[in-house]
Amino acid sequence: MDFDLSEEQELIRATARGLAEREIAPIAAELDEHARWPDEIVTRMAELGLMGVAVPEVLGGAGMDNLSYVVAMEEISRACASCGVIMSVQNSLVCDPILRFGTEAQKRDVLGPLARGEKIGCFGLSEPGSGSDASAMKTVARRDGDHWVLDGTKNFITSAPRADVAVMFAKTDPAAGHKGISAFLVPMKDQPGLSLGPKEKKLGIRAAWSSGIFMEGARIPAENLLGKEGEGFKVALSTLDGGRIGIAAQALGIAQAALDQAVRYSKERTAFGAPIARLQAIQFMIADMATELDAARLLTWRAARLKDAKVRYTAQASMAKLMASETATRVTHKALQVHGGYGYLADFPLERHYRDARITESYEGTSEIQRLVIAAAVLQG
């Protein structure tokens, strides 16, 4: 498998890195401290094609591949994980399923504005009583003439407070278990029967707003069904496969930022008459961080390559997400240790990376779920 980036992929990485270093990094701490939605950054990402990286140009996207998306995601997340997850939700969880399962009208009228960044999307799967066990969802949808009527509650929905449309999941045949789940495109603005909970106060990724979604008799046109009736579980699982690659890339960016800061600090901080970078204990931590990060990156790139090749990549996406997210947690932990007491201060960006890293082990499938997916693939041969 070729891991060399093409000229176009190098260009999109350089473009994302330029935006991250010049415009995102200088305000990342302020975004986090005030939990401010980064309107100006979302606009700039849209202008650069980063809100629909793998969507064909004819449909409003950048027309690039999934590896391009991964390298761009890492660069954005290296500066601000909140901006990274907004980009990830838009690309992986909203644009991708509409591109793969949507009708031509849905691609034209819904996907186009999303890929151009004119509208924001969210992904309505998780519920108060069904996180990892998505088939246990309680949200239902019943057909009423030329409409569907939705009732239920979703929670932890990233981008929901700013979203214009949701890829929403509900049971259309509750007795059929996971085979009775369907997917819908639900308008989020001025939609009767739909309301939002308060913005959630979170440990990290504070600038990426999330909230619950409440539906009581929310009526949507029948043509808003995404894919076929009863195939929503398939839509959800296949979407999460790609989403895990995006979160792996986000985790890479967080870990790379932490490693960069640990290396820089170790060269500046002196102890026992010399920079601490000369201490073997520090060198061992940096060596471990760099090695784990490189391994996680290779796994993530492999998963993206497989998705681009249109072959099955479920286990590989889980491996990438598991390795990258747990690497981000370990790397930020060790980087904080390199910084000593200073790493614990909010004055240093490492404190923010440390908090942001933790969520990557939870959303879009916990580490435990990733291990189940990987084990199933290995045991089935």
110-160 pLDDT tens trace = 999 999 999 999 999 999 998 888 889 999 999 999 999 999 999 999 999
Residues 79-108 have pLDDT tens digits of: 999 999 999 999 999 999 999 999 999 999
Tell me which DSSP letter residue 89 carries: I
| pLDDT averaged over every residue in the chain | 97
**Gap between the Cα atoms of 194 and 284, Å rounded:** 53
Which pLDDT does position 132 carry in this prediction?
Answer: 83
Residues 239-281 have pLDDT tens digits of: 999 999 999 999 999 999 999 999 999 999 999 999 999 999 9
Which pLDDT does position 133 carry in this prediction?
Answer: 86
Annotated domain spans of the chain: 7-120, 122-232, 234-379
Q: Are strands 270-271 and 274-275 parallel, antiparallel or unpaired?
A: antiparallel
**Gap between the Cα atoms of 181 and 235, Å rounded:** 10
Catalytic residue (choose from 292, 326, 361, 364): 364
CATH C-level class of 122-232: mainly beta
User: Token match 């916990």: residue?
Assistant: 366
Cβ-based burial of 152 (10 A; exposed 0-12, middle 13-18, buried ≥19)? buried
Does the pTM exceed 0.95? Answer: yes
The distance between the two most distant Cα atoms of the chain, rounded to a whole number of Å, is: 80
Residues 152-185 have pLDDT tens digits of: 999 999 999 999 999 999 999 999 999 999 999 9
**Residue 153 CB neighbour total at 10 angstroms:** 17
- Reported confidence tier of residue 3, pLDDT bands at 50, 70, 90: confident
361 included as an active-site residue: no
Give yes or no for a contact between 357 and 255, defined as CB atoms under 8 angstroms apart.
yes
Asked if CATH classification 2.60.200.20 holds for the domain at 234-379, the reply, yes or no, is no
With CA atoms as reference, report the closest residue to 330 among 297, 286, 371. 286
Which pLDDT does position 135 carry in this prediction?
Answer: 84
Tell me which DSSP letter residue 36 carries: -
Which pLDDT does position 301 carry in this prediction?
Answer: 98
With CA atoms as reference, report the closest residue to 115 among 162, 77, 64, 161. 64
Q: Which CATH superfamily is domain 7-120 in?
A: Acyl-CoA dehydrogenase/oxidase, N-terminal domain (1.10.540.10)
With CA atoms as reference, report the closest residue to 83 among 18, 167, 25. 25
Tell me which DSSP letter residue 125 carries: -
- Reported confidence tier of residue 334, pLDDT bands at 50, 70, 90: very high
**Gap between the Cα atoms of 276 and 328, Å rounded:** 23
Instruction: Determine which helix (DSSP H) or strand (DSSP E) holds 268, and give its type and residue range.
Output: helix 232-268
User: Token match 């808003």: residue?
Assistant: 224
**Gap between the Cα atoms of 331 and 85, Å rounded:** 19
